[in-house]
Amino acid sequence: MSRPIQALIDLSALEHNLSVVRHYAPRSRVMAVVKADAYGHGLLRAADALKRAEGFAMLEIDAAVRLREAGYRQTILLLEGFFSMAELAWIEQYHLSTVVHHHEQLAMLSAYRAHGRLDVFLKLNTGMNRLGFTPEQFHAALETLKVNSFVGQITLMTHLARADESAGNESVAAQLQCFNAVAEARNLPRSLANSAAILRCPDTHADWVRPGIMLYGASPFADRTAKELDLHPAMTISSKIIAVQQLKSGDGVGYGHMFRADRPMRIGIVAGGYADGYPPYR
């Protein structure tokens, strides 16, 4: 007998949210982010709903291979790149694109003997301070790729740390200025904008946008709801009450008694919790 909790996926909501991306960034190609099994929505079902996107972005090479084997011909980008020479062989075989963000990856690319051409997204660290070459390192990294006869199309990219803050915020402006200072002399495609930047920062749209959270119907902003942004929720969780408790004033519920009754009350216990991805009460 199965548990009563269910996650219901609305594929039409994913299609609609992709149209919202197009509305805000009509001149950019869309790299739909489908990492972590499309954020739990199911990789192949989400990809089918998002099939009009020009590309897919993810972390896992096995998931990228699944997309290719399912017949998707779009650009498929590995956001963390590759971790071994063996993975480069898979990238070549399945015609995947890869982010390059550190010197070890450059060295592996230089040592690898490909039979075709590998498309690369070269990542500049403009202030997120997670992945990417510093502005001082970037020119040498780009030149290393350019002289590698196995490297095909090079796209310049960065990631914005605080685009979800108020419109026109100084952090985005500073990161954009840093990126443009490095990229402006390069006649190469560019990719900067995440969901928040798609919605609030048109100067960052460039050749590729990379929507994630907005595709699944969530707002990236604390001050604007998904409904205000015309985003439709792609997942609805439903369950059933499996027990009822009668509390006295002051009784606590759950781990750490994170909820405490301020009066006598009757509460229902719903089948669903941490293991189902439901966050603790705050």
Distances (CA, A) of 69 to 35, 44, 72, 76: 17, 11, 7, 12
Q: How distant is the alpha carbon of residue 206 from its chain centre?
A: 17
Q: Are 159 and 179 in contact (CB under 8 A)?
A: no
Residue 281 appears among annotated catalytic residues:
no
Question: CA dihedral in degrees (182, 184, 189, 194; nearest 10)?
Answer: 60
List the one residue out of 30, 29, 47 whose CA is nearest residue 38: 47
Which of 146, 255, 278, 281 is catalytic? The answer is 255
Could you give the maximum distance between any two Cα atoms of the chain, in Å?
Answer: 74
Residue 112's Cβ-count burial label (10 Å; 0-12, 13-18, 19+) is middle
List the one residue out of 188, 124, 120 whose CA is nearest residue 157: 124
d(CA 33, CA 64): 12
Length of the chain (residues): 282
Residue 24 appears among annotated catalytic residues:
no
d(CA 85, CA 108): 6
Q: Are 229 and 20 in contact (CB under 8 A)?
A: yes
d(CA 232, CA 14): 8
d(CA 204, CA 219): 18
**3-class DSSP state for residue 170?**
helix
As annotated, the active-site residues are 35, 255
